[in-house]
Amino acid sequence: RKEVEQDPGPFNVPEGATVAFNCTYSNSASQSFFWYRQDCRKEPKLLMSVYSSGNEDGRFTAQLNRASQYISLLIRDSKLSDSATYLCVVNMGGQNFVFGPGTRLSVLP
């Protein structure tokens, strides 16, 4: 089993839709979790950290489920500009960051 797994997609959704991504991780001792977005041929950019209590930033909501070892990202009211690949990142301890392969989102007009 890979350490961090994501549905590769692509997820094709119309503008205004709500879309959710899940990411599962294998190390139950993992402490820090993040979502990054990566545009084609660009660097990953931090979208949000994921806290135990869940957190929201505008149209984006991230949640952590430690019991089931997954994190989720919910995007409401999708915009064309949300089209990107979304990377789940898990810190497995120390400086051991494991990146998922990413989920590709296309928001269609």
Partner 1 sequence: DAGITQSPRHKVTETGTPVTLRCHQTENHRYMYWYRQDPGHGLRLIHYSYGVKDTDKGEVSDGYSVSRSKTEDFLLTLESATSSQTSVYFCAIGGSSYEQYFGPGTRLTVT
Residues binding partner 1 (CB under 8 A): 4, 32, 34, 42-46, 49, 87, 89, 91, 95-102
CB of 99 to partner 1, least distance (A): 3
CB of 93 to partner 1, least distance (A): 11
Nearer Cβ to partner 1, position 78 or 103?
103
Q: Which residue has the tokens 């789940």?
A: 88
Look up residue 3 and give its DSSP letter: S
Q: Which residues contact 42 (CB under 8 A, 6 or more apart)?
A: none
Nearer Cβ to partner 1, position 36 or 78?
36
Nearer Cβ to partner 1, position 58 or 94?
94
Q: Give the strands of the sheet with 60-65, arranged side by side.
A: 4-6, 19-25, 70-75, 60-65, 55-57
